[in-house]
Structure 1
Amino acid sequence: MSGASGMDGAGWDERYAAVELVWGAEPNRWLAAETADLPPGHALDLAAGEGRNAIWLARRGWEVTAVDFSGVAVERGRRLAGSEAADVADRITWKVADVRDEVGPAGAYSLVCVIYLHLVADERRRALWHAANAVAPGGVLLVVGHDTTNLTEGVGGPQDPRVLFTPDDILGDLNAGADGAAADWIVERAERVRRPVHTTGGETRDAIDALVRLQRSR
Protein backbone atom coordinates (compact mmCIF):
# COMPACT_ATOMS: atom_id res chain seq x y z
CA MET A 1 0.00 0.00 0.00
CA SER A 2 1.09 3.63 0.14
CA GLY A 3 4.24 4.45 2.03
CA ALA A 4 7.17 2.82 0.29
CA SER A 5 10.43 4.59 1.02
CA GLY A 6 11.67 6.95 -1.66
CA MET A 7 8.26 8.31 -2.61
CA ASP A 8 6.49 11.12 -0.81
CA GLY A 9 2.78 11.94 -0.67
CA ALA A 10 2.94 13.87 -3.93
CA GLY A 11 4.63 10.93 -5.66
CA TRP A 12 1.93 8.55 -4.48
CA ASP A 13 -0.75 11.04 -5.56
CA GLU A 14 0.68 10.86 -9.08
CA ARG A 15 0.78 7.07 -9.03
CA TYR A 16 -2.81 6.77 -7.83
CA ALA A 17 -4.01 9.36 -10.34
CA ALA A 18 -2.43 7.46 -13.24
CA VAL A 19 -4.66 4.36 -13.04
CA GLU A 20 -8.14 3.48 -11.85
CA LEU A 21 -7.11 1.09 -9.05
CA VAL A 22 -3.45 0.53 -8.21
CA TRP A 23 -4.05 -2.48 -5.95
CA GLY A 24 -7.37 -3.79 -7.26
CA ALA A 25 -10.67 -4.05 -5.42
CA GLU A 26 -10.26 -7.36 -3.61
CA PRO A 27 -8.89 -7.38 -0.05
CA ASN A 28 -5.43 -8.62 0.72
CA ARG A 29 -5.66 -12.40 0.99
CA TRP A 30 -3.78 -12.53 4.29
CA LEU A 31 -5.91 -9.85 5.91
CA ALA A 32 -9.09 -11.68 4.86
CA ALA A 33 -7.83 -14.98 6.24
CA GLU A 34 -6.38 -13.63 9.48
CA THR A 35 -9.41 -11.51 10.43
CA ALA A 36 -12.11 -14.03 9.48
CA ASP A 37 -12.30 -15.31 13.06
CA LEU A 38 -12.43 -11.88 14.72
CA PRO A 39 -15.71 -10.33 15.92
CA PRO A 40 -16.28 -6.90 14.33
CA GLY A 41 -15.09 -3.94 16.36
CA HIS A 42 -13.05 -0.82 15.68
CA ALA A 43 -10.21 -1.23 13.17
CA LEU A 44 -7.35 1.02 12.11
CA ASP A 45 -6.04 0.46 8.58
CA LEU A 46 -2.65 2.16 8.20
CA ALA A 47 -1.31 2.90 4.70
CA ALA A 48 -4.82 2.09 3.50
CA GLY A 49 -4.32 3.15 -0.10
CA GLU A 50 -7.61 3.18 -2.00
CA GLY A 51 -9.34 1.36 0.83
CA ARG A 52 -9.76 -2.17 -0.45
CA ASN A 53 -9.11 -3.65 3.00
CA ALA A 54 -11.03 -0.98 4.88
CA ILE A 55 -14.08 -1.47 2.65
CA TRP A 56 -13.90 -5.24 3.03
CA LEU A 57 -13.79 -4.94 6.82
CA ALA A 58 -16.61 -2.40 6.87
CA ARG A 59 -18.82 -4.69 4.81
CA ARG A 60 -18.35 -7.27 7.55
CA GLY A 61 -19.50 -4.95 10.28
CA TRP A 62 -16.29 -3.24 11.37
CA GLU A 63 -16.04 0.47 12.11
CA VAL A 64 -12.84 1.44 10.32
CA THR A 65 -10.44 4.37 10.38
CA ALA A 66 -8.46 4.32 7.11
CA VAL A 67 -5.24 6.37 6.98
CA ASP A 68 -2.97 7.14 4.05
CA PHE A 69 -0.69 10.04 3.17
CA SER A 70 -1.98 10.23 -0.40
CA GLY A 71 -4.96 12.54 -0.61
CA VAL A 72 -5.77 11.10 -4.05
CA ALA A 73 -5.97 7.57 -2.63
CA VAL A 74 -8.10 8.66 0.33
CA GLU A 75 -10.55 10.53 -1.89
CA ARG A 76 -10.86 7.54 -4.20
CA GLY A 77 -11.43 5.25 -1.23
CA ARG A 78 -14.11 7.58 0.07
CA ARG A 79 -15.90 7.46 -3.28
CA LEU A 80 -15.63 3.67 -3.49
CA ALA A 81 -16.97 3.24 0.05
CA GLY A 82 -19.99 5.36 -0.83
CA SER A 83 -20.71 3.55 -4.09
CA GLU A 84 -23.79 1.41 -4.53
CA ALA A 85 -21.62 -1.70 -4.70
CA ALA A 86 -19.97 -1.07 -1.32
CA ASP A 87 -22.44 1.17 0.55
CA VAL A 88 -20.28 1.45 3.69
CA ALA A 89 -19.55 5.19 3.75
CA ASP A 90 -20.99 5.49 7.25
CA ARG A 91 -18.61 2.81 8.60
CA ILE A 92 -15.29 4.30 7.46
CA THR A 93 -13.52 7.43 8.65
CA TRP A 94 -10.87 8.59 6.18
CA LYS A 95 -7.73 10.47 7.19
CA VAL A 96 -4.85 11.93 5.20
CA ALA A 97 -1.84 11.54 7.49
CA ASP A 98 1.69 10.15 7.64
CA VAL A 99 1.64 6.81 9.44
CA ARG A 100 5.13 7.51 10.77
CA ASP A 101 3.34 9.94 13.09
CA GLU A 102 0.79 9.01 15.73
CA VAL A 103 -2.54 8.77 13.90
CA GLY A 104 -4.90 7.08 16.36
CA PRO A 105 -5.72 7.28 20.06
CA ALA A 106 -3.88 4.85 22.32
CA GLY A 107 -5.60 1.54 22.99
CA ALA A 108 -8.63 2.40 20.85
CA TYR A 109 -8.74 -0.37 18.26
CA SER A 110 -9.45 -4.09 18.44
CA LEU A 111 -7.64 -4.52 15.11
CA VAL A 112 -4.74 -2.54 13.67
CA CYS A 113 -3.48 -3.65 10.27
CA VAL A 114 -0.33 -2.57 8.47
CA ILE A 115 -0.39 -4.14 5.01
CA TYR A 116 2.56 -3.68 2.61
CA LEU A 117 3.99 -0.60 4.25
CA HIS A 118 7.65 -0.53 3.20
CA LEU A 119 9.98 1.95 4.86
CA VAL A 120 13.61 1.98 5.87
CA ALA A 121 14.16 0.32 9.24
CA ASP A 122 14.05 3.32 11.58
CA GLU A 123 10.94 4.75 9.89
CA ARG A 124 9.24 1.33 9.87
CA ARG A 125 9.99 0.94 13.57
CA ARG A 126 8.46 4.32 14.35
CA ALA A 127 5.32 3.50 12.36
CA LEU A 128 4.98 0.14 14.10
CA TRP A 129 5.34 1.67 17.55
CA HIS A 130 2.45 4.00 16.77
CA ALA A 131 0.44 1.11 15.34
CA ALA A 132 1.10 -1.02 18.42
CA ASN A 133 0.17 1.81 20.75
CA ALA A 134 -3.25 2.02 19.10
CA VAL A 135 -4.14 -1.64 19.82
CA ALA A 136 -6.55 -2.22 22.70
CA PRO A 137 -5.87 -4.93 25.30
CA GLY A 138 -7.03 -8.18 23.74
CA GLY A 139 -6.78 -6.63 20.28
CA VAL A 140 -4.82 -7.81 17.26
CA LEU A 141 -1.93 -6.23 15.37
CA LEU A 142 -1.54 -7.64 11.86
CA VAL A 143 1.56 -6.80 9.80
CA VAL A 144 2.07 -8.11 6.26
CA GLY A 145 4.75 -7.15 3.77
CA HIS A 146 7.23 -8.36 1.20
CA ASP A 147 9.80 -10.54 2.93
CA THR A 148 13.52 -9.91 2.54
CA THR A 149 13.90 -13.29 0.79
CA ASN A 150 11.42 -12.21 -1.87
CA LEU A 151 14.21 -10.21 -3.46
CA THR A 152 16.16 -13.37 -4.36
CA GLU A 153 13.62 -16.18 -4.12
CA GLY A 154 10.30 -14.58 -5.00
CA VAL A 155 8.76 -12.22 -7.53
CA GLY A 156 7.53 -8.63 -7.55
CA GLY A 157 7.55 -6.14 -4.72
CA PRO A 158 10.13 -3.46 -3.89
CA GLN A 159 13.65 -4.17 -5.15
CA ASP A 160 15.34 -2.09 -2.45
CA PRO A 161 16.54 -4.44 0.33
CA ARG A 162 16.48 -1.57 2.83
CA VAL A 163 12.68 -1.52 2.87
CA LEU A 164 12.07 -5.26 3.01
CA PHE A 165 11.74 -7.12 6.30
CA THR A 166 11.31 -10.51 7.95
CA PRO A 167 8.92 -11.66 10.68
CA ASP A 168 11.83 -11.47 13.13
CA ASP A 169 12.43 -7.86 12.12
CA ILE A 170 8.85 -6.99 13.07
CA LEU A 171 9.10 -8.80 16.41
CA GLY A 172 12.40 -7.05 17.06
CA ASP A 173 10.90 -3.66 16.25
CA LEU A 174 8.19 -4.18 18.85
CA ASN A 175 10.52 -5.66 21.44
CA ALA A 176 12.64 -2.53 21.16
CA GLY A 177 9.79 -0.93 23.08
CA ALA A 178 8.24 2.50 22.99
CA ASP A 179 5.06 3.41 24.81
CA GLY A 180 2.38 0.86 23.87
CA ALA A 181 4.87 -1.16 21.84
CA ALA A 182 6.33 -2.35 25.15
CA ALA A 183 3.06 -4.13 25.98
CA ASP A 184 2.95 -7.90 26.35
CA TRP A 185 2.20 -9.58 23.05
CA ILE A 186 1.04 -13.10 22.32
CA VAL A 187 2.62 -14.19 19.05
CA GLU A 188 -0.16 -15.97 17.19
CA ARG A 189 1.70 -16.19 13.91
CA ALA A 190 5.12 -15.02 12.68
CA GLU A 191 6.27 -16.68 9.49
CA ARG A 192 7.02 -16.42 5.80
CA VAL A 193 4.07 -17.21 3.54
CA ARG A 194 3.91 -17.78 -0.20
CA ARG A 195 1.49 -15.98 -2.52
CA PRO A 196 1.02 -17.14 -6.15
CA VAL A 197 1.54 -14.32 -8.66
CA HIS A 198 0.78 -14.41 -12.39
CA THR A 199 3.70 -12.83 -14.21
CA THR A 200 3.58 -10.90 -17.46
CA GLY A 201 5.26 -13.87 -19.12
CA GLY A 202 2.29 -16.09 -18.34
CA GLU A 203 4.02 -17.99 -15.54
CA THR A 204 2.77 -18.42 -12.00
CA ARG A 205 5.45 -17.81 -9.40
CA ASP A 206 5.40 -17.37 -5.63
CA ALA A 207 5.94 -14.04 -3.94
CA ILE A 208 7.23 -14.41 -0.39
CA ASP A 209 5.55 -12.32 2.28
CA ALA A 210 6.31 -11.79 5.95
CA LEU A 211 3.20 -12.22 8.11
CA VAL A 212 2.99 -11.36 11.81
CA ARG A 213 -0.19 -11.57 13.85
CA LEU A 214 0.01 -10.57 17.51
CA GLN A 215 -2.54 -10.24 20.29
CA ARG A 216 -2.01 -7.59 22.94
CA SER A 217 -2.43 -9.06 26.39
CA ARG A 218 -2.21 -5.76 28.30
Structure 2
Amino acid sequence: MTTDPSHWNDRFTGPTYYYGTEPNAFVSAMAGHVPAGPVLCLAEGEGRNAVFLAGHGHAVTAVDASSVGLAKARALAEARGVALATAVVDLAAYAIAPGHWAGIVATFAHVPPAVRQRMHAQVVAGLRPGGVYLLEAYTPAQLAFGTGGPKDPTLCMTLTALREELRGLDFIIGRECERDVIEGRGHTGRGAVVQVVARRPEVTQRKD
Protein backbone atom coordinates (compact mmCIF):
# COMPACT_ATOMS: atom_id res chain seq x y z
CA MET A 1 0.00 0.00 0.00
CA THR A 2 1.42 3.35 -1.00
CA THR A 3 1.25 6.69 0.77
CA ASP A 4 1.51 8.54 -2.56
CA PRO A 5 -1.40 11.03 -2.73
CA SER A 6 -1.78 10.53 -6.49
CA HIS A 7 -2.45 6.83 -5.92
CA TRP A 8 -5.27 7.60 -3.52
CA ASN A 9 -6.64 10.42 -5.64
CA ASP A 10 -6.88 7.97 -8.53
CA ARG A 11 -8.50 5.34 -6.33
CA PHE A 12 -11.12 7.74 -4.96
CA THR A 13 -11.97 9.41 -8.28
CA GLY A 14 -15.49 8.61 -9.45
CA PRO A 15 -19.04 8.68 -8.11
CA THR A 16 -18.87 5.54 -5.98
CA TYR A 17 -17.17 5.31 -2.61
CA TYR A 18 -14.31 2.81 -2.76
CA TYR A 19 -14.77 1.61 0.82
CA GLY A 20 -18.47 2.43 0.96
CA THR A 21 -20.32 5.12 2.88
CA GLU A 22 -21.12 3.19 6.06
CA PRO A 23 -18.75 3.32 9.02
CA ASN A 24 -16.23 0.64 9.77
CA ALA A 25 -18.04 -2.04 11.81
CA PHE A 26 -15.59 -1.88 14.71
CA VAL A 27 -15.83 1.91 14.90
CA SER A 28 -19.61 1.70 14.81
CA ALA A 29 -19.67 -0.88 17.61
CA MET A 30 -17.13 0.93 19.81
CA ALA A 31 -18.10 4.58 19.25
CA GLY A 32 -19.87 4.65 22.61
CA HIS A 33 -16.48 4.50 24.33
CA VAL A 34 -15.55 7.93 22.92
CA PRO A 35 -16.52 10.71 25.34
CA ALA A 36 -18.17 13.93 24.23
CA GLY A 37 -15.80 16.30 22.50
CA PRO A 38 -13.73 16.74 19.34
CA VAL A 39 -12.68 13.71 17.33
CA LEU A 40 -9.80 13.35 14.87
CA CYS A 41 -10.01 10.76 12.07
CA LEU A 42 -6.62 9.83 10.62
CA ALA A 43 -6.17 8.60 7.02
CA GLU A 44 -9.92 9.07 6.71
CA GLY A 45 -10.21 8.77 2.94
CA GLU A 46 -13.77 9.38 1.77
CA GLY A 47 -15.15 10.12 5.20
CA ARG A 48 -17.34 7.18 6.20
CA ASN A 49 -16.19 7.08 9.84
CA ALA A 50 -15.96 10.85 10.23
CA VAL A 51 -19.49 11.44 8.98
CA PHE A 52 -20.83 8.70 11.24
CA LEU A 53 -19.16 10.22 14.29
CA ALA A 54 -20.30 13.73 13.35
CA GLY A 55 -23.81 12.32 13.22
CA HIS A 56 -23.35 11.25 16.84
CA GLY A 57 -22.63 14.77 17.98
CA HIS A 58 -18.85 15.01 17.77
CA ALA A 59 -17.00 17.92 16.21
CA VAL A 60 -14.97 15.88 13.73
CA THR A 61 -11.81 16.71 11.81
CA ALA A 62 -10.89 14.29 9.02
CA VAL A 63 -7.35 14.27 7.66
CA ASP A 64 -5.98 12.39 4.68
CA ALA A 65 -3.37 12.70 1.94
CA SER A 66 -6.07 12.59 -0.77
CA SER A 67 -7.80 15.82 -1.66
CA VAL A 68 -10.22 13.83 -3.83
CA GLY A 69 -11.18 11.57 -0.94
CA LEU A 70 -11.77 14.49 1.40
CA ALA A 71 -13.90 16.30 -1.18
CA LYS A 72 -16.12 13.22 -1.24
CA ALA A 73 -16.10 13.19 2.57
CA ARG A 74 -17.45 16.75 2.60
CA ALA A 75 -20.09 15.79 0.03
CA LEU A 76 -21.14 12.83 2.18
CA ALA A 77 -21.33 15.06 5.25
CA GLU A 78 -23.52 17.55 3.38
CA ALA A 79 -25.79 14.77 2.17
CA ARG A 80 -26.15 13.49 5.74
CA GLY A 81 -26.71 16.98 7.16
CA VAL A 82 -23.64 17.10 9.42
CA ALA A 83 -20.65 19.41 9.75
CA LEU A 84 -17.15 18.13 8.98
CA ALA A 85 -13.75 19.80 9.00
CA THR A 86 -11.09 18.37 6.66
CA ALA A 87 -7.39 18.88 6.04
CA VAL A 88 -5.11 17.42 3.38
CA VAL A 89 -2.02 16.25 5.27
CA ASP A 90 0.99 13.97 5.05
CA LEU A 91 0.87 11.78 8.15
CA ALA A 92 4.66 11.63 8.14
CA ALA A 93 4.72 15.35 8.95
CA TYR A 94 1.32 16.01 10.51
CA ALA A 95 1.30 17.39 14.06
CA ILE A 96 -1.56 16.16 16.23
CA ALA A 97 -2.66 18.88 18.65
CA PRO A 98 -1.56 17.76 22.14
CA GLY A 99 -4.14 17.19 24.86
CA HIS A 100 -7.01 18.24 22.60
CA TRP A 101 -8.95 15.23 21.35
CA ALA A 102 -11.74 13.31 23.04
CA GLY A 103 -11.30 10.64 20.40
CA ILE A 104 -8.86 9.68 17.67
CA VAL A 105 -9.82 7.09 15.06
CA ALA A 106 -7.68 5.19 12.55
CA THR A 107 -8.98 2.31 10.45
CA PHE A 108 -6.65 0.53 8.04
CA ALA A 109 -4.15 3.40 8.23
CA HIS A 110 -1.25 1.35 6.93
CA VAL A 111 1.86 3.51 6.80
CA PRO A 112 5.57 2.67 7.10
CA PRO A 113 6.61 1.62 10.61
CA ALA A 114 8.60 4.79 11.34
CA VAL A 115 5.62 6.94 10.35
CA ARG A 116 3.25 4.81 12.41
CA GLN A 117 5.48 4.96 15.49
CA ARG A 118 5.70 8.75 15.23
CA MET A 119 1.95 8.99 14.67
CA HIS A 120 1.16 6.81 17.66
CA ALA A 121 3.42 8.79 19.97
CA GLN A 122 1.41 11.84 18.96
CA VAL A 123 -1.87 9.97 19.41
CA VAL A 124 -0.96 9.24 23.03
CA ALA A 125 -0.06 12.89 23.63
CA GLY A 126 -2.98 14.18 21.56
CA LEU A 127 -5.76 12.60 23.62
CA ARG A 128 -7.18 14.62 26.49
CA PRO A 129 -7.47 12.76 29.83
CA GLY A 130 -10.22 10.17 29.37
CA GLY A 131 -9.91 10.40 25.59
CA VAL A 132 -10.08 7.21 23.54
CA TYR A 133 -8.21 5.84 20.53
CA LEU A 134 -10.09 3.46 18.21
CA LEU A 135 -7.98 1.46 15.77
CA GLU A 136 -8.54 -1.41 13.39
CA ALA A 137 -5.86 -2.62 11.00
CA TYR A 138 -4.74 -5.72 9.20
CA THR A 139 -2.17 -8.05 10.74
CA PRO A 140 0.53 -9.78 8.68
CA ALA A 141 -1.77 -12.83 8.52
CA GLN A 142 -4.00 -10.81 6.17
CA LEU A 143 -1.61 -11.44 3.27
CA ALA A 144 -2.87 -15.02 3.10
CA PHE A 145 -6.47 -13.85 2.61
CA GLY A 146 -5.92 -11.40 -0.23
CA THR A 147 -9.18 -9.57 0.51
CA GLY A 148 -7.71 -6.07 0.87
CA GLY A 149 -4.92 -4.25 2.62
CA PRO A 150 -1.19 -3.92 1.98
CA LYS A 151 0.98 -6.50 0.28
CA ASP A 152 3.96 -5.56 2.44
CA PRO A 153 3.80 -7.20 5.91
CA THR A 154 5.84 -4.36 7.45
CA LEU A 155 2.84 -2.07 6.85
CA CYS A 156 0.58 -4.35 8.86
CA MET A 157 0.24 -4.18 12.64
CA THR A 158 0.38 -6.56 15.58
CA LEU A 159 -1.08 -6.21 19.04
CA THR A 160 2.35 -6.63 20.60
CA ALA A 161 3.78 -3.71 18.63
CA LEU A 162 0.72 -1.54 19.27
CA ARG A 163 0.94 -2.06 23.02
CA GLU A 164 4.47 -0.72 22.87
CA GLU A 165 3.69 2.16 20.50
CA LEU A 166 0.67 3.21 22.58
CA ARG A 167 2.41 2.99 25.93
CA GLY A 168 0.69 5.41 28.28
CA LEU A 169 -2.83 4.40 27.24
CA ASP A 170 -4.97 1.85 29.06
CA PHE A 171 -6.20 -0.89 26.72
CA ILE A 172 -9.93 -1.51 27.12
CA ILE A 173 -9.86 -3.85 24.12
CA GLY A 174 -6.79 -5.26 22.44
CA ARG A 175 -7.16 -8.32 20.26
CA GLU A 176 -6.15 -10.01 17.04
CA CYS A 177 -8.94 -11.89 15.33
CA GLU A 178 -10.50 -12.88 12.03
CA ARG A 179 -13.70 -11.30 10.79
CA ASP A 180 -15.57 -10.63 7.56
CA VAL A 181 -14.64 -7.15 6.34
CA ILE A 182 -17.10 -6.04 3.66
CA GLU A 183 -16.51 -2.36 2.88
CA GLY A 184 -17.32 -1.27 -0.64
CA ARG A 185 -14.99 -2.58 -3.34
CA GLY A 186 -11.89 -2.14 -1.23
CA HIS A 187 -12.36 -4.81 1.43
CA THR A 188 -14.17 -7.87 0.23
CA GLY A 189 -14.15 -10.81 2.64
CA ARG A 190 -12.52 -12.64 5.49
CA GLY A 191 -9.72 -10.66 7.07
CA ALA A 192 -7.12 -10.92 9.83
CA VAL A 193 -7.29 -7.79 11.93
CA VAL A 194 -6.06 -6.19 15.12
CA GLN A 195 -8.55 -4.11 17.08
CA VAL A 196 -7.80 -1.59 19.82
CA VAL A 197 -9.83 0.60 22.14
CA ALA A 198 -7.37 2.46 24.38
CA ARG A 199 -7.99 5.30 26.84
CA ARG A 200 -5.71 8.00 28.19
CA PRO A 201 -5.92 7.82 31.98
CA GLU A 202 -7.81 10.53 33.81
CA VAL A 203 -5.75 13.01 35.78
CA THR A 204 -5.94 12.17 39.46
CA GLN A 205 -5.51 14.63 42.30
CA ARG A 206 -2.82 13.86 44.84
CA LYS A 207 -4.04 13.48 48.40
CA ASP A 208 -1.19 14.23 50.76
TM range (shorter): 0.7 to 0.9
1:207 alignment partner in structure 2 = 191
Please, which of 106, 111, 118 is the counterpart of residue 110 of structure 2?
A: 118
1:23 pairs with 2:19: yes
The alignment status of 1:174 with 2:170, answered yes or no, reads no
> One-letter code of the match for 1:107?
G
* C-alpha deviation, 1:173, in angstroms: 1.9
Gaps of 5+ in 1: 176-183, 199-203
1:104-143 to structure 2, matched below 5 A, reads 104-143=96-135
Q: Distance in 1 between matches of 2:69 and 2:28?
A: 21
Structure 2 length normalisation: TM-score? 0.87
State the 1:122 CA deviation.
1.2
Judged with a 3 Å threshold, the aligned counterparts in structure 2 of structure 1 residues 154 and 192 are, in CA distance, closer, same or farther, namely farther
Matches within 5 A, 1:140-159: 140-152=132-144, 155-159=147-151
Match of 1:97 in 2: 89
Indicate yes or no: 2:82 matched with 1:88.
yes
Residue in structure 2 matched with residue 63 of structure 1 by the alignment: 59
Alignment of 1:157-168 (within 5 A): 157-168=149-160
Q: CA deviation at 1:99?
A: 2.0
| Pairwise CA distance, 1:102 | 3.2
Q: Which residue is 2:4 aligned to?
A: 8
Superposed CA RMSD in Å reads 1.9
Measured after TM superposition, the shift of residue 154 of structure 1 is: 7.1
User: What is the aligned partner in structure 2 of residue 189 from structure 1?
Assistant: 173
Q: Could you say what secondary structure the match of 1:101 adopts? A: coil
Q: Runs in 1 of length 4+ with deviation above 6 angstroms?
A: none
* Aligned AA (2:88): V
Distance in 1, matches of 2:113 and 2:200, equals 23
Moved more, 153-162 or 120-129: 153-162
**Count of aligned pairs:** 197
Instruction: Tell me the TM-score normalized by structure 1.
Output: 0.83
Distance 2:99 2:111 in 1: 24
Structure 2: tracts of 5 or more residues without a match: 183-187, 204-208
